[in-house]
Structure 1
Amino acid sequence: MSSHTALHSVSVTGVVIRPSDGKVLVIKRADDGRWVPPGGVLELDETPESAVVREVREETGVDVTPVRLVGVYKNMKLGVVSLAFLCEPIGGQEQTSEEATVVSWLTPEEAMEAAPEARGVRISDALAEGGPFVRVHDGTWLLLE
């Protein structure tokens, strides 16, 4: 694809941390079986914050409120830019969906170990001081800039 026709897609990721025990909400994706924080494509008519609320609810049944931008993550192979938000759960009930065969609360360590590096780093970044972070990856592994 030539550079003049290349387009980026923008998505959102919700790093949902439960205040009562510090566990992180993750899903097992239906399409590739990977464990990841929930998220998806930002629609043209919505803000990044409203998109992360919608995506987390659609994929997991959990209602959230975004707290802060964690970082910007670009998949260099697919041209997808994801905006990750730290979120707090405010209601709803965990349930699977067409996109998530399993919805689970894991410790941050368990979640980062289960997820591909490019997704797990969003959890460690959400727990870190500073940020927002800017990172690039190939879909699985972080790449050096």
Structure 2
Amino acid sequence: MATWAVIENEKKILLIRRSLKTSRSGQWCFPGGGIKENESPEEACIREVKEETSLDIKACHLVAKINGNNYFRCQLSDQNQKICLKLDECDEFLWVSPSKILEVGTIMDLKNVYRILSSMSYMIELNDEARQIIGLKN
């Protein structure tokens, strides 16, 4: 089981790029990761965001649970925080408008990301390849 944070700030969401030292390297995803023993999914979400980005988050609200993955809608505890990446896990970050998410590169678990952002009322501009991955008809 894993947990992921959809962190919103000024109508943008935070994506991190997985480092070369991880599986699925080079792919962009929400901050997150595995749930430890005796840890709730929300606690894991807060911990993983802190470990990977050094950010403190709050207001974690479960948006969806898909195939053992928990997706939480989160906000920053303090708008003035600086991101400091854990480079063995992620090597870059971007604040991106959800409608432009495909412009950043390969999105890890695009089908799930599309479902999550759509459920949060975000519109995403899809190209033909993304439509095929997601399973939408052209």
TM-score by length of 1: 0.70
Moved over 4 A (4+): 141-144
Match of 2:46 in 1: 53
Distance 1:103 1:22 in 2: 16
Q: Which runs of 5+ in 2 are unaligned?
A: 123-132
Amino acid across the alignment from 1:96: L
Instruction: Determine whether 1:63 maps to 2:56.
Output: yes
Q: How many residues align?
A: 116
Q: Which runs of 5+ in 1 are unaligned?
A: 1-9, 75-80, 130-140
Tell me if structure 2 keeps the 8 A contact 1:24–1:111: no
Instruction: Determine whether 1:93 maps to 2:77.
Output: no
Match of 1:38 in 2: 31
User: Are the structure 2 counterparts of residues 59 and 126 from structure 1 closer, same or farther at C-alpha, using a change threshold of 3 Å?
Assistant: farther
Q: Which structure is higher in strand share? A: 1
Q: Which structure is higher in helix share? A: 2
Percent identity of equivalent pairs: 28
Distance 1:113 1:120 in 2: 14
TM-score by length of 2: 0.73
Tell me if structure 1 keeps the 8 A contact 2:16–2:91: yes
